[in-house]
Structure 1
Amino acid sequence: MTKDYIWWKDATIYQIWPASYKDSNNDGVGDIPGIISKLDYIKSLGADIIWLSPMYDSPQDDMGYDISNYNTIYPKYGTMEDMDNLISGCHKREIKLILDLVVNHTSSEHDWFKESKSSRDNSKRDWYVWKPARYDSEGKRHPPNNWKSFFSESAWEYDETTDEYYLHLFAKSQPDLNWENETTRNAIYEYALDFWFKKGIDGFRIDTAGLYSKDQSFADAPIVSPGEELQFCGNSVNNGPRIHEFHKEMFEKVTSKYDVMTVGEVGHCSREDTLKYVSAKEREMSMVFLFDLVSLGYSSTDRYQYDGFSLKDLKDAIVKQCNFIFGTDAWSTMFIENHDQARAVTRFGNTKTLDNTFKSAKLIALMQATLTGTLFIYQGQEIGMTNLPRSWDISEYKDIESNNAYQDLLKTHNISDPENDSRVKRFMDTLALVSRDHARSPVQWTADKHGGFSGTKPWMRVNDNYKEINVESQVGDPNSVFSFYQKCLVLRRQYKDLFVYGDISVLDYENPQLFSYVKQSGTSKAYVVLNFSGEPAKFESSVPGTLRLLNTNVDDFKDDSLSPWEGRVYLVEQL
């Protein structure tokens, strides 16, 4: 492919979840000064950009994705002065900073919505989506359609004051903005984007970027859950009729005026539809997240219906993500963790022992660092943080999605004794594997109480393994997961033509143990072989040329076999 070297293509982006990163004032909640105190640590890892999840003022019903004011800071996270200091502190270290752009919805506490719901003739009434009720033959009131929100409840909430329903694709405290209204869109551009660009930020991760345009017929969703009143709404609201018009307008009116990047959370759609968002000639976004890898094993309509996956499924997902951009003028991403995903080492590696945890965390690092696209790393991933223990009960889970799904299960099946119900046990088994909470537990900085995150009880319990897995024990240790990530990022930068931009060819596709592939750019080649199993695997290179070892996650290895969870990266030198 033709290489167009742009700063955000070659970059490694490090995501921070502010509530759980570092608490500077011992109130149990992470904050912006805590982040500032760790900027040198982030720099030493090798990150080029920080993606900061929502730090705006918010009631925190959905951890800041319910914004009540785009231009003020959530008080527990700090002040606008702290935010200014973070921007300057990043730039001083030659780290760029991007924020979350959450504009499909606001909080119900936002002044815009308070005005909108105050009366039907308020000037901001149509800044949100309001619809009258439907009534059945018996006169019983029902929501305008059968849409089930992404958080397991009706996507409509009745408002007695004006006798209408408002749309909320997520929580009822997150009413959807009406993007059909040009005045609303211009206010979004002014307050949510331009305000922050003028402060010097370097871009946005665009939340739910495919949902802004709703088909104005608001027809019922197809029946995918027979016998249930509410049906999955995703296929009815994603990639709506005007979505590209809106993104082009956002780019032309605001984003194009700055040297910034945007990365869209578009969700599942065809390659053809996804390219419409990120083809350079379309002038909408810089890149998108593709969810094939992180969604392995999930039902397409319910993440808590989990069936697992094979290594071939993982290979398929990787190839699809790497090959997405080839033959196009588009760009993409490579990520395996974020705030909405469980911990990669638990999902894709092995955490039965500490040795296996560290070894498979390094294996995942090897894989990610050699794959095509802009690399994203999530806080704690660089030290091998794992999922929360299965022994924890539902009271330890804080995420609104997890808790709503649990309550929905009890209600749907009329479960009165959850502790002894097999369906609840299966749900908790799945929750322990895929819940968003696993990514949101506090970062484990030290072996001290609360993992060194805070001097007081944190807002969310620290993972029980903080004494064994923490930053302090790994920084400076050449054999640690952290040091291995540093090495991987150095090599990724050194051989960026191969790893960031190169083509991928998978070898031995049907092998149930090994994931091996060649990355190629021009005449340069790298050979990557990864043992994704708990058993030794035979190793015999089928790649012509002399192999020079660049990186491996073991100290000693055998020429003819790979130990469990062992990986190697070779440079192929031509004969």
Structure 2
Amino acid sequence: MERKWWMEAIGYQIYPKSFNDTNGDGIGDIKGVTEKLDYLNNLGINMVWLCPFYKSPMDDNGYDVSDYYDVDPMFGNLDELKELISEAHKRGIKIVADLVLNHTSDEHEWFVEARKSKDNKYRDYYIWADGRIDEKGNEIEPTNWASFFGGSCWKKDEQTGQYFMKIFSNKMPDLNWKNEALRKEMYKMANWWLDLGIDGFRVDAVAHLSKSEFVDSEMKANPYACDWGKFSNLPKAHDYLQEFYKEVLKDRDVMTVGEVGGGATCMDALKYSGYDQNEFNMVFNFDHNWSHNEDGTTNVKNLKEIFNKWQTGTFGKGWNPLYWLNHDHPRVLSHYGNTGEYRNESAKMLATALYFMWGTPFIYNGEEIGMTNYPFETLEDFNDVAIKNQYEYAKKEGLSEREYVKKVKNGSRDNARTPMQWSNKLNAGFTDGEPWFHVNPNYKTVNVESQLKDPNSILNYYKQVTHLRRHGDYKNIIVYGSYRLIDRKNKFVYSYIREYNKKKLLVITNFTDKLVKVSYKYQMVKKVLSNYNNAKIEDLRNHILRPYEALVLEIK
């Protein structure tokens, strides 16, 4: 395995709209990211992933691109983006852009032209099909496949009478990757951004570039079947991605990470990111993001089995990203931690459990201060297009608005999209204007400014973690060492051993608010890190872990 810069990087995902507003319009901007580069540098970050900043009608917060070659005025302009790249590079920070290859906005010039007529030169840039007549004589969609955002994955275009595929929003038509001219346009665009100075891509929805033949799913349909296998992780996608690698990535020292979703196995992932595959460096897979018992508590046994699967199943064959959440997930402290008495301890425990495994960390903005879910109460509180679309189907199933909100609020994507909490000033220091979205009311106690002053804060603990990963005696163990799960049957504790050149680290994390006894036959050499200041380890064969306690120990 050839060592690369991105293997040792500490990534940080920024949702620009909610990060930092410098012009008072209530929306985060490119200048706002530039303004916070020193903060990121001090945190130990040396790679920033920016969510989409391209021109967009913002039906899905920028993932519906109308112009791949320009910055949306909401965020600034191209010169300001160039300045961000330049200033980041001066500080040793790489800038990674979100690249949306699966679909465009319906306001993109290609689709505006494509829908004019069936023989338009851009028609085949998208996926079209005729409707069908059902047994009652009614016209229905080409297939019974569901969309991720609710309803059918097809929408009828009245101008030509055909249906276009849109596996996400109605305003996000899927691109037809079978079309060579379309592929060349996408390669040209990606090269343009890399030539501009971008250091790599997070590639959105990459698992969906290839679609099955248009045949109804045999899964239960109500009235549409959630059969994601019809357009996920299909073999032909790899032909397109290998061509993308050849035309864009082959001779460049950049980082790529693809989003493959929760349905991919280790074998699937390695087809995208194996060292010899010539596609991506790593892929995001979300099977660890929803590990719960029926009562909502964390299913620790299941969670650690998932981590173990990825840590052992891909070791030596490909690379892994490490992440608790992104812009599509709830806040991890609300999800797997404790937002009450043990918020500080549990946030630090979660950082320890994840970021001492091998792989490239991606910290989501606000995670490092323990930001939490927003207290949604009504449907009107939400911004997420998926939540609003799916409510129409929930109503048909008899759910009231109150019942629906209760059902979806803890898992909503909007939880990750509330403004970054910089201080206890008005609007959490995010903006001097009216913020585009709700500020979490806990900003007065949960914010960057107060945590910078507190040596025992979550933020300063994250700095310790990033320092250990990037510098000093344990860097090679953490970044490149082997991984071994121990205490496998324990329902409350996740423990594992990292080893490199006969040097070992033992990581112990208690995922509960209970006292838990552990017994390990190892001899401690040194305490490397703990989330309790007064942690004392006298005998690992008979040690009591406090609520959400985390320990990193060098052992013999």
Structure 2 length-normalised TM: 0.96
Q: Please point out which of 519, 528, 553 is paired with 1:550.
A: 528
Q: Hey, what does 1:302 align to over in structure 2?
A: none
Question: Partner of 2:256: helix, strand, or coil?
Answer: strand
**1:333 paired to 2:327:** no
Q: Given residue 121 of structure 2, which amino acid in structure 1 is its aligned partner?
A: S
Q: Hey, what does 2:22 align to over in structure 1?
A: 24
Measure, in 2, the Cα distance between the counterparts of 1:40 and 1:313. 38
Q: Hey, what does 1:316 align to over in structure 2?
A: 305
Q: Given residue 368 of structure 1, which amino acid in structure 2 is its aligned partner?
A: L
Question: Partner of 2:315: helix, strand, or coil?
Answer: coil
Q: Hey, what does 1:359 align to over in structure 2?
A: 345
- Check conservation: 1:498, 1:525, Cα contact below 8 A: yes
Q: Given residue 195 of structure 2, which amino acid in structure 1 is its aligned partner?
A: K
Q: Which is worse superposed, 513-522 or 110-119?
A: 513-522
Measure, in 2, the Cα distance between the counterparts of 1:197 and 1:70. 13
- 1:28-85 Cα distance to aligned partner (Å, 9 max, x none): 1100011110010011100110000000000000000000000111111001111111
Q: Hey, what does 1:502 align to over in structure 2?
A: 481
Q: Hey, what does 2:507 align to over in structure 1?
A: 528
Q: Given residue 319 of structure 2, which amino acid in structure 1 is its aligned partner?
A: W
- 1:386-439 Cα distance to aligned partner (Å, 9 max, x none): 11125x3221111111222223211333x5x534xxxx1xx4334232111111
- Check conservation: 2:266, 2:314, Cα contact below 8 A: no
- Extract unaligned runs of 5+ from structure 2: 538-542
TM superposition shift of 1:151: 0.1
TM superposition shift of 1:118: 0.7
**1:236 paired to 2:230:** yes
Q: Please point out which of 106, 115, 118 is paired with 1:120.
A: 118
Q: Hey, what does 1:266 align to over in structure 2?
A: 260
- Check conservation: 1:321, 1:334, Cα contact below 8 A: no
**1:489 paired to 2:466:** yes
Q: Please point out which of 382, 386, 390 is paired with 1:401.
A: 386
Measure, in 1, the Cα distance between the counterparts of 2:26 and 2:296. 36
Q: Given residue 39 of structure 1, which amino acid in structure 2 is its aligned partner?
A: L
Measure, in 2, the Cα distance between the counterparts of 1:319 and 1:114. 47
Measure, in 2, the Cα distance between the counterparts of 1:430 and 1:549. 43
- Check conservation: 1:53, 1:100, Cα contact below 8 A: yes
Measure, in 2, the Cα distance between the counterparts of 1:507 and 1:35. 41
- Check conservation: 1:211, 1:237, Cα contact below 8 A: yes
**1:166 paired to 2:164:** yes
- Check conservation: 2:155, 2:164, Cα contact below 8 A: yes
Alignment identity in percent? 38
Q: Given residue 535 of structure 2, which amino acid in structure 1 is its aligned partner?
A: F
Q: Please point out which of 176, 193, 198 is paired with 1:196.
A: 193
- 1:444-483 Cα distance to aligned partner (Å, 9 max, x none): 0010111110112211100110001000101142111111
Q: Please point out which of 201, 223, 230 is paired with 2:219.
A: 223
Q: Please point out which of 214, 235, 246 is paired with 1:252.
A: 246
Residue pairs, 1:21-420, within 5 angstroms? 21-191=19-189, 193-215=190-212, 217-225=213-221, 228-267=222-261, 268-297=263-292, 309-328=298-317, 330-353=318-341, 356-389=342-375, 392-413=377-398, 415=399, 418-419=401-402
Q: Which is worse superposed, 157-166 or 474-483?
A: 474-483
TM superposition shift of 1:339: 0.6
Question: Partner of 1:281: helix, strand, or coil?
Answer: coil
- Check conservation: 2:13, 2:362, Cα contact below 8 A: yes
Q: Hey, what does 2:454 align to over in structure 1?
A: 477
Q: Hey, what does 1:450 align to over in structure 2?
A: 427
Measure, in 2, the Cα distance between the counterparts of 1:115 and 1:175. 13
Measure, in 1, the Cα distance between the counterparts of 2:494 and 2:290. 19
Q: Hey, what does 1:459 align to over in structure 2?
A: 436
- Check conservation: 1:306, 1:430, Cα contact below 8 A: no
Q: Which is worse superposed, 56-65 or 556-565?
A: 556-565
Q: Which is worse superposed, 172-181 or 454-463?
A: 454-463
TM superposition shift of 1:291: 1.7
Q: Given residue 450 of structure 2, which amino acid in structure 1 is its aligned partner?
A: S
Q: Hey, what does 2:492 align to over in structure 1?
A: 513
Q: Hey, what does 2:540 align to over in structure 1?
A: none
- Check conservation: 1:214, 1:241, Cα contact below 8 A: no
Query: 1:480–1:403: structure 2 CA closer, same or farther, 3 Å change rule?
Result: same
**1:437 paired to 2:426:** no
TM superposition shift of 1:554: 0.8
- 1:232-273 Cα distance to aligned partner (Å, 9 max, x none): 131111122311100000000111132111001012222222
Number of positions where the alignment pairs a residue of Structure 1 with one of Structure 2: 548
TM superposition shift of 1:563: 1.2
Q: Please point out which of 544, 551, 556 is paired with 1:568.
A: 551
Question: Partner of 1:293: helix, strand, or coil?
Answer: coil
Q: Given residue 336 of structure 1, which amino acid in structure 2 is its aligned partner?
A: W
Measure, in 2, the Cα distance between the counterparts of 1:557 and 1:92. 39
Q: Given residue 258 of structure 1, which amino acid in structure 2 is its aligned partner?
A: R
Q: Hey, what does 1:301 align to over in structure 2?
A: none
- Check conservation: 2:330, 2:416, Cα contact below 8 A: yes
TM superposition shift of 1:309: 4.6
Q: Given residue 160 of structure 1, which amino acid in structure 2 is its aligned partner?
A: E
Measure, in 2, the Cα distance between the counterparts of 1:190 and 1:308. 47
Q: Hey, what does 1:468 align to over in structure 2?
A: 445
Measure, in 2, the Cα distance between the counterparts of 1:184 and 1:454. 40
- Extract unaligned runs of 5+ from structure 1: 299-304
TM superposition shift of 1:496: 2.6
Measure, in 2, the Cα distance between the counterparts of 1:279 and 1:402. 35
Question: Partner of 2:220: helix, strand, or coil?
Answer: coil
TM superposition shift of 1:324: 3.0
Question: Partner of 1:375: helix, strand, or coil?
Answer: strand
- Check conservation: 2:156, 2:164, Cα contact below 8 A: yes
Measure, in 2, the Cα distance between the counterparts of 1:23 and 1:250. 35
| Cα RMSD (Å) | 1.6
Structure 1 length-normalised TM: 0.92
TM superposition shift of 1:558: 4.5
Measure, in 2, the Cα distance between the counterparts of 1:239 and 1:231. 18
Measure, in 1, the Cα distance between the counterparts of 2:368 and 2:323. 13
TM superposition shift of 1:120: 0.7
TM superposition shift of 1:229: 1.6
Measure, in 2, the Cα distance between the counterparts of 1:530 and 1:135. 58
TM superposition shift of 1:196: 0.3
Query: 1:309–1:554: structure 2 CA closer, same or farther, 3 Å change rule?
Result: closer
